């Protein structure tokens, strides 16, 4: 008789990492890189802050369109198919942004990248859930790792964009978009391969209705969070430029922020796997709030570095906790549509944040815009706690 034991099924997080590269593309490169290119485009194209904020709002409007259309398309199309279509649309829209300086063309390119990002973002987490649905001890971490792919995209965008603009000047912003497009295409290879893996959940459409019992308060908190966090991500680099910081220090802050996002699922591992997801959502909003508030209190070098680290550690735990909440509250065939609904309200929040903050900055200062985002993050921190209290009463 052989003493050899049957091999154990080892759970690996590599599929979650591979799918997370889609978030690096759709969020890190397609959305947040705009904060790095914004100062150059603003100078070269003579924009005010409202115009500068508009292009992020256009991207968010595309995100709304993608989320709403995705909610209905998932009645007929599988999450895997819509995920792949969104990823192709996103990375093709990036080099298209370089082809013209006309505000109309730039708006269309940003809209299209937003549509693709919404499909990728909401359906990608369903592919992760499908891979790890039988692993209770790894599901939350895998979900966090998927969203943490944004950290790689944030860091990569800093490495690509900042040195180029520092060397070639503000007129090189089209070349920056072209390079981002190339990077996005390369990063998309692995997640597109993962999306083709067979899965009963990922490859099946669903036309069942959603039940939102117990989810309305987290949904509202997620909306307010989206309105608040995007203010920091849109204007922090422009704020640092106004304070006289060099591009090299700005790159350091950006890389630390991306690093915080990348390691956040491991820092929050216990919370994502064990805590009530509403409490995790509130805690992540609080971390983001603290990170956003530090530059107002301490605009020095140490303050900005701490700000980036704390903000990065919290910002993508919010969507991770929402994904865990949807997975626990809804049946498997409704995961994709549930996440898409949360993505709709998240996208609406991202529409409001940049344009409202840009208007406030034009009327007051960028400090006023940053304070606006901080207040929204405070409200977002309190709402999930209020929902938990009312549900337990």
Whether residue 92 has pLDDT greater than 60: yes
Query: 242 pLDDT exceeds 80?
Result: yes
CA dist list (Å): 125 to 49, 230, 232: 34, 21, 25
| Token output for 333 | 């065939």
Residue 127: the pLDDT is 92
Q: What mean pLDDT, rounded, does the chain reach?
A: 89
> What pLDDT does 209 receive?
59
**Residue 149: CA count within 13 A, CB half-sphere:** 31
Identify the weakest region by mean pLDDT among 56-70, 206-220, 252-266.
206-220
- How distant, in Å, are the alpha carbons of 86, 177, 220, 317, 346 from that of 279? 31, 38, 14, 11, 18
Residue 198, pLDDT above cutoff 80: no
pLDDT confidence of residue 204: 52
Which stretch of 47-51, 165-169, 197-201 has the lowest confidence by average pLDDT? Answer: 197-201
The pLDDT assigned to 8 comes to 43
Which of 41-50, 183-192, 213-222 holds the top average pLDDT? Answer: 183-192
Contact 308, 110 (CB under 8 A): no
The arithmetic mean of pLDDT across residues 31-59, rounded, is: 86
Query: If you compute the radius of gyration of the chain from its CA atoms, what whole number of angstroms results?
Result: 20
State pTM to two decimals: 0.85
Mean pLDDT, rounded, for 177-196: 96
Indicate the CATH number for domain 14-205+213-392.
Answer: 1.20.1250.20
Angle between helices 301-315 and 247-267 (to 10 degrees): 40
- Report the candidate in 112, 106, 69, 122 with the shortest Cα–Cα distance to residue 88: 112
For 36-40, 102-106, 117-121, 314-318, which range has the lowest pLDDT when averaged over its residues? 36-40
Owner of token pair 């459409």: 205
Q: How far apart are CA 141 and CA 144, in angstroms?
A: 5
Q: What would the pLDDT profile of 102-157 be if each residue is shown by its tens digit?
A: 999 999 999 999 999 999 998 998 899 888 887 767 778 899 999 999 999 999 99
């Amino acid at each position: 008789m052989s003493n050899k034991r049957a091999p154990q099924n080892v759970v690996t997080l590599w599929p979650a990492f591979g799918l997370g590269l889609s978030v690096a593309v759709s969020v890190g490169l397609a959305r947040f890189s705009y904060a790095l290119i914004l100062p150059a485009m603003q100078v070269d194209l003579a924009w005010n802050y409202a115009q500068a904020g508009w292009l992020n709002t256009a991207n968010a409007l595309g995100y709304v369109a993608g989320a709403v259309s995705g909610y209905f398309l998932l009645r007929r199309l599988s999450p895997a198919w819509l995920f792949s279509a969104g990823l192709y649309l996103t990375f093709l829209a990036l080099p298209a942004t370089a082809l013209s300086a006309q505000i109309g063309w730039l708006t269309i390119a940003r809209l299209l990248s937003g549509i693709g990002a919404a499909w990728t973002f909401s359906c990608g987490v369903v592919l992760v859930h499908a891979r790890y649905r039988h692993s209770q001890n790894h599901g939350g971490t895998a979900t966090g790792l998927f969203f943490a792919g944004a950290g790689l995209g944030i860091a990569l965008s800093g490495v690509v964009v900042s040195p180029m603009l520092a060397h070639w000047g503000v007129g090189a912003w089209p070349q920056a978009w072209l390079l981002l497009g190339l990077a996005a295409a390369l990063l998309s290879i692995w997640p597109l391969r993962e999306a083709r893996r067979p899965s009963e959940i990922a490859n099946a459409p669903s036309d069942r209705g959603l039940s939102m019992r117990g989810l309305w308060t987290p949904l509202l908190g997620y909306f307010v969070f989206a309105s608040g966090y995007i203010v920091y991500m849109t204007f922090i680099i422009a704020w640092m430029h106004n304070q006289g910081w060099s591009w090299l220090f700005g790159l350091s802050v950006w890389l630390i922020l991306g690093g915080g996002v990348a390691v956040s699922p491991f820092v929050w591992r216990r919370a994502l796997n064990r805590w009530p997801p509403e409490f995790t959502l509130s805690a992540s909003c609080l971390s983001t709030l603290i990170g956003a508030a530090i530059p107002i209190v301490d605009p020095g070098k140490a303050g900005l570095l701490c700000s980036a680290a704390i903000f990065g550690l919290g910002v993508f735990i919010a969507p991770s906790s929402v994904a865990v909440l949807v997975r626990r509250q809804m049946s498997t065939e409704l995961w994709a549509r549930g996440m898409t609904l949360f993505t709709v309200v998240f996208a609406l929040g991202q529409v409001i944040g940049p344009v409202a903050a840009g208007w406030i900055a034009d009327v007051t200062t960028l400090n006023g815009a940053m304070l606006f985002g901080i207040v929204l993050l405070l409200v977002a921190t309190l709402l999930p706690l209020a929902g938990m209290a009312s549900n337990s009463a």
